[in-house]
Amino acid sequence: MISETILIVDDQLPNLKVLSTMLEGKNYKVRKAVDGESAIEAVQIEPPDLILLDIKMPNIDGYEVCQRLKSDDKTKDVPIIFISALSEVFDKVKAFEVGGIDYITKPFQEEEILARINSQLTIKKQQKLLQQEKELLKQKQKTLEKEIKRRKEAQAILYQSRALISSVLTNSIDGIAAFESVRNSKSGKIEDFRCLVINPILAELFNQDPENLSGQLIFKNFLEQLDVNLFPLFVNLVETGVSLNKDFSYQCQQEKKWYHLSAIKLADGFSITVRNITERKKRELELNRRATIDGLTGIYNRQTFDQNLIKEWGRARREKQTLSIILFDVDYFKLYNDHYGHQAGDDCLKQIAQTVKKILNRSVDFVARYGGEEFVVILPNTDQQGAIIIVENIQHAIYTLAIPHKESKVSELVSISVGIASIIPRSASSPADLINLADKALYRAKQQGRNRYSVAEI
């Protein structure tokens, strides 16, 4: 089995040694670079599967290294995880802006860095598989379009050569059928489509034998069970001649299946080809899910939070509504990890994440892992008092978990410090301003003794 190659870029030799030993112990191939220039040269010669990149280095820093790699077509797709002692929000935001896909703050935890590396490598593998699948589908689609074009050119023969067409339909691995329009005698508008011919593969979707469907008006009723917007698309196909390509899902007994349909105008009707794409769709949906969810806690990840905050900021600005965010972290979490172990620390973060998720009742409310033991909540259309109520509920729920924390200096149980910021977005402000307000409020809560919340001063 071929193992993935990881390039570590850090000007501190002790850091290189620790990371190399850890990754080689997990059967990764490790390459090393001690400065930005040699890292860029190494990637251009032979791109690795993933890069762990320090920020503060001589000559050119990690941000510039990332920008230069992302501007090169040969190296732009190599995923880059920043590892740095810089922990300010500004540094993390800049890392994502220049093209980083993750950010790990030193000192790092071995379990976390391995989990994040494995998650990004898995996403890269699935993206590669999906791209290959798309290319294969594209090639098959071209072949299919050529076949449909030949059938269109031979439409006159279609009605005269039923035996030949029946043979083609029966042996096809795709669902194929031909339908003709049924028009209103007065208005001339299409009211339904009559089945002319259908092969066994497609007949299965109707739970009928092919011979029982020929001549029947079954298409409109079937489409409306799937999606009421589908029937007008086929009417438009016949009236305009514009071909139709669309994915749709169908509940087949106990399993949901996905299909791709391709239809072209055929006289006063159309021919349709349907292909089962369930396996490809499952891989696609899983890839999308993995790209949005934090691998440890099961809630949304930082990248998804950044995207959602921009969306909610825009909506609140348009509607002139208050947007609130809650930024909190676990008090003395490093001491908790040191005393109880990293596995217990992981379990603690999971419990907190799922507890907060249950408290947020509205579909628009959003919780994500911000990084390490930090979490963030977005509350659209919620003023400061509403945000405080949510925070108090969260604090009470976490206290009710009764997770022991003997090393805490403020409570015998796990507690949190919270920063709250509420604002009506204006053209002169940005989402980063709201984050900074919450971050300052969180800092003030810690300065005031932790195990409490602080509201941003605006």
Q: Do residue 80 and residue 197 come from a single domain?
A: no
Do residues 229 and 372 share a domain? no
The confidence score (pLDDT) of residue 288 equals 80
Higher pLDDT, 273 or 156: 273
Give the position of tokens 């109880």. Answer: 340
Q: What pLDDT does 166 receive? A: 58
Structure tokens at 137: 């589908």
Domain match, 83 and 231 both: no
> Is residue 120 assigned to a domain?
no
Do 59 and 181 share a domain, yes or no? Answer: no
Q: Are 177 and 275 members of one domain?
A: yes
Confidence at 168, pLDDT banded by 50, 70, 90: low
Q: Find how far residue 197's CA is from the centre of its chain.
A: 41
Distance (Å, rounded) from C-alpha 141 to C-alpha 277? 13
Instruction: Tell me: do 142 and 274 sit in the same domain.
Output: yes
Q: What is the pLDDT of residues 361-386, one digit of tens each?
A: 899 999 999 999 999 999 999 999 99
Q: Is 242 exposed, middle or buried (0-12, 13-18, 19+ CB in 10 A)?
A: exposed
Assigned domain for 102 exists: yes
Q: Last residue of some domain: 237, 263, 282?
A: 282
* Per-residue confidence (pLDDT) for residue 160, from 0 to 100: 55
User: What average pLDDT does the segment 275-287 reach?
Assistant: 84
Question: Among 252, 282, 312, which residue terminates a domain?
Answer: 282
In a domain, 117, yes or no: no
User: Residue type for 61, please?
Assistant: D
Whether the CA torsion 37, 43, 46, 52 is positive or negative: it is positive
| Same domain? 348 vs 394 | yes
Residue % of the chain over a pLDDT of 70:
95
Question: Do 298 and 388 fall into the same domain?
Answer: yes
Q: Is residue 116 part of a domain?
A: no
Sign of CA dihedral 304, 282, 244, 207: negative
Say which amino acid occupies 444: R
265 and 320 part of one domain: no
113 domain residue, yes or no: no
Q: Which pLDDT belongs to residue 170?
A: 65
Q: State yes or no: pLDDT of 226 exceeds 80.
A: no
Q: What is the pLDDT of residue 301?
A: 94
Average pLDDT, the chain: 88
Question: Does residue 18 lie in a domain region?
Answer: yes
Mark whether 172 and 217 lie in a shared domain.
yes
Task: Work out the pLDDT band at 2, boundaries 50, 70, 90.
Answer: low
Least confident of 51-60, 274-283, 415-424: 274-283
Phi and psi dihedrals of 205, rounded to 5?
-65, -30
Whichever domain contains 381, its CATH number is: 3.30.70.270
* 121 within a domain of the structure (yes/no): no
Question: What is the sign of the dihedral through the CA atoms of 421, 423, 426 and 431?
Answer: positive
pLDDT at 89: 79
Residues 309 and 420 in one domain: yes
Q: Residue 171 has which token pair?
A: 């042996």
69 HSE (CA, 13 A, CB side): 32
Question: 76 and 155 share a domain?
Answer: no
Band of pLDDT at residue 106, cut at 50, 70 and 90: confident
pTM recorded for the entire structure: 0.48
Opening angle at CA 128, ends 123 and 134, nearest 5: 120
- Residue 172: which CATH number? 3.30.450.20
Question: Which two three-digit tokens encode residue 448?
Answer: 């005031």
Domain count, the chain: 3
For residue 48, the domain's CATH number is 3.40.50.2300
Question: Last residue of a domain, which of 282, 304, 329?
Answer: 282
pLDDT score of 379:
97
Q: Which domain does 204 fall in, by range? A: 130-282
Asked if residue 444 belongs to a domain, the reply is: yes
- What's the chain look like in SS3? CCCCEEEEECCCHHHHHHHHHHHHCCCCEEEEECCHHHHHHHHHHCCCCEEEECCCCCCCCHHHHHHHHHCCCCCCCCCEEEEECCCCHHHHHHHHHCCCCEEEECCCCHHHHHHHHHHHHHHHHHHHHHHHHHHHHHHHHHHHHHHHHHHHHCHHHHCCCHHHHHHHHHHCCCEEEEEEEEECCCCCCEEEEEEEEECHHHHHHHCCCHHHHCCCCCHHHHHHHHCCCHHHHHHHHHHHCCCEEEEEEEEECCEEEEEEEEEEECCCEEEEEEEECHHHHHHHHHHHHHHHECCCCCCECHHHHHHHHHHHHHHHHHHCCCEEEEEEEECCHHHHHHHHCHHHHHHHHHHHHHHHHHHCCCCCCEEEEEECCEEEEEEECCCHHHHHHHHHHHHHHHHHHCCECCCCCCCCECCEEEEEEEECCCCCCCHHHHHHHHHHHHHHHHHCCCCCEEECCC
Whole-number pLDDT of residue 167:
64
